[in-house]
């Protein structure tokens, strides 16, 4: 009887736990703290943290062949299905009206992707492979599903740190961006008032997702999955005849996929994958990516303000990084601190949603080059 008990004890996790696993459990608890108390992107950090927790409980076998999350991971992450399904819901939630009304926003949405490629340089030079560097760079896209999609295809072993970094920095956009925005702009620039946006017709809104799908897919075919689903969701929303599908895409389908995606991504962060020096490098490079993206957006907005006759407040440039709608709100808030009557939110939504397209395009380019 005693030997039976001792044999059973061998199977418990207490005796098999490594120090790394213990540390990872603490890391997952920190994620819960940030998500629940600090409300940092809780919809993703709670599932990611929980997946991380489960994967580091020794003996759970949850990511081993035949384990619960093993199946989910293989069905949804490895195949690259989950991120486009999330994009379907994001598309059904997104209003591209401000972008259609002011298509110059697209340039800002393009400029802010420079952070992705700038970080790629840094990552290449600090010992990462090209595929890994591309996955790290995409953190600068400030777009969770895009980052998870590209990483799952190029460097799945980095999914944990990259997802944690991407979502954490997206939550921290209100802290990361304002100093950069202020440093790069003058008080006069920050006070610029922009013309009111023209109303956008329903016809334009319906044609927009179709046209974007066609053009972007032709230019960067590897981006078709992400951009196509984003635009299909948007077409569900704007067509006005598929409200049932739009509602399901942005609610139940998205929630189901979010739970499964979050838990699976978190479960890739096993101690031996996560507790490496490279995780710190990724966290460091990630913030560089956000910073450079913000700066490039602001700088191009400054330039455009000078080159064109219509006034452009450079504060909306930072919204080009994506991080919808956080980054646009940051533009609004920083602007309003200078002049409480300056409403930049809708102007910033243009670059903001352009940034989503921009980072999906960037992911497609990197996938073409290194996939």
Residues that bind its own copies (CB under 8 A): 8, 11-14, 17, 25, 29, 32, 35-36, 39, 42-43, 46-47, 50, 53-54, 57-62, 66-68, 71-72, 79-81, 84, 88, 206, 210, 213-214, 217-222, 224-225, 228-229, 232, 235-236, 239-242, 244-245, 247-249, 251-253, 255-256, 258-259, 263, 368
Of the candidate spans 2-10, 12-20, 138-146, 187-195, the one that interacts with Na ion by CB under 5 A turns out to be 138-146
Q: Cα–Cα distance between 141 and 102 in angstroms, integer?
A: 21
Shortest Cβ 56–its own copies spacing (Å): 10
Q: Are 249 and 233 in contact (CB under 8 A)?
A: yes
The entry of Na ion, its own copies, another protein, none near residue 320 (CB within 5 to 8 angstroms by kind) is none
Shortest Cβ 65–another protein spacing (Å): 21
The closest alpha carbon to 100, from 11, 189, 210, belongs to: 210
Q: Cα–Cα distance between 266 and 47 in angstroms, integer?
A: 7
The entry of Na ion, another protein, its own copies, none near residue 84 (CB within 5 to 8 angstroms by kind) is its own copies
Footprint on residues 209-268 left by another protein (CB under 8 A): 211-212, 215-216, 219-220, 241, 244, 250, 254
Q: Cα–Cα distance between 233 and 231 in angstroms, integer?
A: 5
Q: Are 195 and 346 in contact (CB under 8 A)?
A: no
CB contact set of 110 (below 8 Å; sequence gap of 6+) = 320, 354, 358
Residue 358: asked if its preceding bond is cis (omega within 30°), the reply is no
The entry of its own copies, Na ion, another protein, none near residue 58 (CB within 5 to 8 angstroms by kind) is its own copies
The entry of another protein, Na ion, its own copies, none near residue 30 (CB within 5 to 8 angstroms by kind) is another protein
In the complex with Na ion, the residue whose CB is nearer, 142 or 231, is: 142
Is 305 among the residues that bind Na ion (CB under 5 A)?
A: no
Q: Cα–Cα distance between 64 and 61 in angstroms, integer?
A: 5
Candidate residues 15, 30, 75, 256; the one interacting with another protein per rule CB under 8 A: 30
Tokens coding 325: 């709608």
- What is the rounded radius of gyration, in angstroms, for the C-alpha atoms of the chain? 22
């Amino acid at each position: 009887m005693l030997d039976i008990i001792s044999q059973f004890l061998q199977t418990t996790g207490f005796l098999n736990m490594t120090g790394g696993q213990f540390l990872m459990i603490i890391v997952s608890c920190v994620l819960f703290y940030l998500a629940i108390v600090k409300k940092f992107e809780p919809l993703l950090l709670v599932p990611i943290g929980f997946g991380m927790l489960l994967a580091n409980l020794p003996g759970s076998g949850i990511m081993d062949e035949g384990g619960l999350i093993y199946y989910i991971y293989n069905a949804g992450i490895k195949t690259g299905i989950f991120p486009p399904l999330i994009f379907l819901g994001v598309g059904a939630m997104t209003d591209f009206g401000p972008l259609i009304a002011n298509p110059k926003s697209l340039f800002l949405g393009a400029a802010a992707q420079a952070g992705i490629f700038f970080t790629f340089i840094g990552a290449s030079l600090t010992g990462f492979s090209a595929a890994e560097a591309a996955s790290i760079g995409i953190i600068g896209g400030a777009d969770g599903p895009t980052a998870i999609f590209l990483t799952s295809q190029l460097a799945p072993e980095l999914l944990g740190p990259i997802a944690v970094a991407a979502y954490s920095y997206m939550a921290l956009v209100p802290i990361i961006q304002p100093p950069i925005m202020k440093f790069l702009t003058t008080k006069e620039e920050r006070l610029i008032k922009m013309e009111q946006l023209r109303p956008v017709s329903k016809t334009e809104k319906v044609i927009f997702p179709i046209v974007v799908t066609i053009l972007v897919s032709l230019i960067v075919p590897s981006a078709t999955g992400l951009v196509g689903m984003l635009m299909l969701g948007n077409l569900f929303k704007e067509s006005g005849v598929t409200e049932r599908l739009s509602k399901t895409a942005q609610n139940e389908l998205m929630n189901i996929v979010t739970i499964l995606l979050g838990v699976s991504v978190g479960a890739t962060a096993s101690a031996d994958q996560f507790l490496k020096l490279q995780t710190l490098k990724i966290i460091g490079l990630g913030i560089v990516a956000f910073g450079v993206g913000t700066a490039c957006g602001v700088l191009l907005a400054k330039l455009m303000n000078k080159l064109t006759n219509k006034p452009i407040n450079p504060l909306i440039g930072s919204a080009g990084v994506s991080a919808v709608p956080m980054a646009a709100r940051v533009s609004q808030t920083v602007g309003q601190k200078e002049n409480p009557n300056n409403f930049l939110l809708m102007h910033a939504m243009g670059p903001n949603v352009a940034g989503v397209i921009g980072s999906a395009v960037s992911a497609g380019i990197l996938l073409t080059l290194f996939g």
